[in-house]
Amino acid sequence: MHNRKSGSFHLFLSVITTLGAIVAASVVAAQSADRPWMNPNLSPDERADLVLKQLTLDEKLALLHGNGMAHAPQWQMPLSHLTNGGAGYVEGVKRLGIPPLVISDAGYGVRDSGANGRYSTAMPSSLGAAASWDTDSACEFGTVIGQELRAQGFNMTLGGGVDLAREPRNGRNFEYAGEDPLLAGSVVGNLMKCEQAQHVVGDIKHYVMNDQETGRFFVNAVTSKRAMQESDLLAFHIAISIANPGAVMCSYNRINDDFGCENSYTLQDVLKSDWGFKGFVISDWGGTHSTEKASAAGLDQEQPMADFFGPKLKAALEAGRVPLSEIDDHARRVLYAEFLSGIVDDPPQKSVVDVEKGLEVAQRVEERSIVLLKNNSATLPINPSKVHSIAIIGGHADVGMISGGGSAQVDPPSGNAIMPPGKGATIWQKPVWFPTSPLKALQAKLPNAKIDFDPGTDANSAANLARNADLAIVFAYQWLAEDMDVPSLSLPDHQDALIEQVAAANPHTIVVLETGTAVTMPWINNVAGVVEAWYAGSSGHKALANVLAGDVNPSGKLPMTFPKSEADLPHPDRPSIPAESQARVADVADNGAPTSNASAHAGYAVHYDEGAAVGYKWFEAQKKQPLFAFGFGLSYTTYAYSGLSVDSTAKTARFTIRNIGNQSGTETAEVYARLPKGAGESFKRLVGWKRVTLAPGESQAVTIPIDTRVLQAFVDGFDGAKDFWNLAQGDYEVLVGSSSDNTPLTGSLQVQ
């Protein structure tokens, strides 16, 4: 009802509001007149240009290097206390409203929260997230990390690892997204797109060919341009085009002789010129080796110190060895990334991390990432009317689950679950266990089952427990971390023998794997089932219990090939480091940082002769049967594929999937293609996929775009001629199915 009193009150309110708006507008106007780059309606390019014009030389140079790293005694500088406990700090330009970069590692969660007295959610490892083949999950993964970074006062992430799992023994494979460029690029691209959308500067790393940790500060990755373009570079290109990150981190290793952070081919020619990357190139920590060369090659910012891009860069400029235009370009790129990511307009405010949300997302991602590799006689899901007693063995499953180490390490609440309390949560290169007990989670799901535990340290005692139980579950782990590769793909700590013995005692033995890369399984024929849980994150125990008990139907598929043995790999024995370099390998600080100039170790090279035939492509080309193929993963239901038609104009594959089992489930349908016969290529390439959820008996017609970016051949111009990409004309065989080695439908794509 309207009355005069309330009418005049409304009038009063609207006058006040209008006056307020006028005042606010004039403040903004004054601000923009004074600081036009603060106008959010201008593009990041325009804003960066406006700021650049205002900068003194010293202000520009300050944008081009770090100022030390928290918790690293060898990398302390006068401003390292400003890192907020993170990996790095770059000065801003306070007088112009340009914030400093406050940088944290955040591979699967925000690093170092323990030392900083904070909490971070551990998402499943990125390799696990890739096993979901789910770009929406990847987006949620990135969103949580972006929000937690901001809550902890950081405005830049160092996540976004997308090096291919070319070498399955690489100790950092858990930080990456598998062996296929399209899958890895799409997963990591979406992850980082959503992370940066939270207003933190995004990062994609380690650019490029950082495919092993052995000799990482000096190893020379040797490969042809074409091979690199169609494999590792392609993964980066796809990830970078999706995420549009503010930063790309160049890698420690050499690529065809030049270090990743002074490589004019990868940085200048490919990343900046061909791909049009407008953000800044940040060096890996201690990965800068020169001033003029690195600057000219396209490195924009040295981290975490100022050894080459501090006083030396200024001197080089003053001596005319580095042009001002180069300095301007570096500085402009840092400013561009700040505007692009939103950290200028929306700086982080410290707040309490949304713990519940993090746990919920971590669980959902893990539920989609778990891969069921074997399930004889429908041993899983556990049927409570038949299974009354369960022997749980090994893997510290009574207490927790293992996580990946190095700079990606996330600190578990209340410290390492298998170390005495108070001894410190994380130590570089020591396995860290989260307090996420799968035993407890399973007991909560199956309250009437009698569940007993044996640590598995004595195989006889474990077998005895297993013998008398209806079901035995062995938890097996393989720990990976930065700065090391695993010597082999065998499970460590005599776990193969443990599994053999338990399986001999109980035919209903399930193995749950907590691994960061592929493992070999000499016992595969003797166990009833295998579940790959990867590094499962903060809610991994709950996700796993849901899968084991059947509340969640597994839907993950392998993002990398599991070989039968190392003998089947392109490099069965990896080249060893020559003696003179070997002596210097030990010359590494506690946190894996190089302590000396690695350029002395030029002698160690890995020749990637397999070229672009990475993972499943290698196995197919060599006609080798893997243990489990790329793209493989079972479900508690069964799917049937039919009726493929390929539309060559629209470049799509259309077919029908039907759930022919009696449970609902989600199937990832995979589409591959082979280049026309004349191309002489003996493997197929993944060109698309789709996750489809189907009720029992339900069928769905799906249309999947064929991504021709991955079908192009890179043509190396040689001798100064321009390189180019070519989508060959002809008849491409299209293959559709549930994994790379099971493609029941075939069709043909005609490219004119």
Task: Give the footprint of ligand NOJ on this chain (CB under 6 A).
Answer: 87, 105, 158, 205-206, 284-285, 407, 482
- Which single residue is written with the structure tokens 């997302």? 361
Residue 72 or residue 267: which is nearer to ligand NOJ going by CB? 72
- Cβ at position 104, least distance to ligand NOJ in Å: 9
- Output the six-digit token pair for 99: 């914030």
Residue nearer to ligand NOJ on the CB measure, 104 or 546:
104
Q: How far is the CB of 322 from ligand NOJ (least distance, A)?
A: 25
- To ligand NOJ, the closest distance from the beta carbon of 482 in angstroms equals 6
Minimum distance from CB of 210 to ligand NOJ (Å)? 8
CB of 594 to ligand NOJ, least distance (A): 10
Residues 6+ apart with CB under 8 A from 729: 676, 751, 752
C-alpha distances (whole Å) from 404 to each of 141, 187, 409, 540, 575 are 16, 19, 6, 13, 25
Q: Which is nearer to ligand NOJ, 307 or 647 (CB)?
A: 307
**Cβ atoms < 10 Å from Cβ of 143:** 18
Tell me whether residue 105 or residue 367 sits nearer to ligand NOJ (CB atom). 105
> Nearer Cβ to ligand NOJ, position 173 or 659?
173
> 65 pairs with which residues across the strands?
302
Nearer residue to ligand NOJ within complex by CB, 206 or 684: 206
Selection from 477, 471, 476 nearest residue 452 by Cα: 471
C-alpha distances (whole Å) from 520 to each of 229, 433, 502, 561, 566 are: 30, 23, 17, 11, 8
DSSP state of 508: S
Q: Determine the longest span between alpha carbons in the chain, in angstroms.
A: 94
Distance separating alpha carbons of residues 120 and 537, to the nearest angstrom: 11
Q: What is the CB-side half-sphere exposure of residue 575 using CA atoms within 13 A?
A: 17
* ∠ Cα 96 100 101 (to 5°): 140
Please choose, from the candidates 656, 662, 669, the residue with its C-alpha nearest in 3D space to the C-alpha of residue 637.
662
Shortest distance (Å) from residue 501 CB to ligand NOJ: 39
Bridge partner residues of 471 (DSSP): 390
DSSP assigned state of 600: G
DSSP 8-state assignment for residue 609:
T
* Residue number with CB closer to ligand NOJ (558 or 593): 593
Q: Taking Cα atoms as reference points, which of 235, 233, 249 lies closest to residue 337?
A: 249
Nearer to ligand NOJ, 68 or 310 (CB): 68
| Residue in 241, 240, 223 with CA at minimum distance from that of residue 231 | 223
Q: CB of residue 74 vs ligand NOJ: minimum separation in angstroms?
A: 13
CB of 284 to ligand NOJ, least distance (A): 5
| Residue 517 vs 743, nearer CB to ligand NOJ | 517
Q: Which residue, among 291, 218, 220, has the nearest Cα to 588 in the 3D structure?
A: 218
Work out how close the CB of 278 gets to ligand NOJ at its nearest, in angstroms, rounded to a whole number: 22
Q: Which is nearer to ligand NOJ, 118 or 205 (CB)?
A: 205
Cβ 117 to ligand NOJ shortest distance, Å: 19
